[in-house]
Amino acid sequence: MIRFKQFLEEGSTIKTNRVRNQKLQRRRIVSLRPGYRVQNGKLVRMSQKERMARHRAQVVGARKRKPMLRQILRKRNLSMRVRTRSGLK
């Protein structure tokens, strides 16, 4: 029998795979609920300070990634082909 809290958290995480250099690199558990993150296998609510810091970091990261966008897209398409061949997508 599962508890109510476990029932609520049941569909709110997902395991993701990352392909780099045509190899599966790692599996990671990611939260699907906005404002929550996974810590020690449980969903934990993020503080407002952490959310703002993440947002600022995303803005800076996007600005730095923009010049390399074409190369990034080409590599991503290669990785997606590898994923489909290995049956991940």
Is 43's pLDDT higher than 80? yes
Residue 39 in tokens? 């810590």
Report the pLDDT averaged over residues 52-77: 95
**Residues contacting 33, CB < 8 A, separation 6+:** 12, 43
Which residue type occupies 8? L
For residue 16, give the amino acid letter. T
Entry pTM? 0.58
Task: Give the pLDDT confidence of 6-23 residue by residue, as tens digits.
Answer: 655 566 777 777 777 777
Question: What residues are paired with 16 via a beta bridge?
Answer: 28
Residue 60, SS3 per DSSP: helix
Q: Rounded to the nearest 5 degrees, what angle is found at the Cα of 12, between the Cα atoms of 5 and 19?
A: 140
Whether the per-residue pLDDT at 70 is higher than 70: the answer is yes
Segment (H or E) for 84: helix 69-86
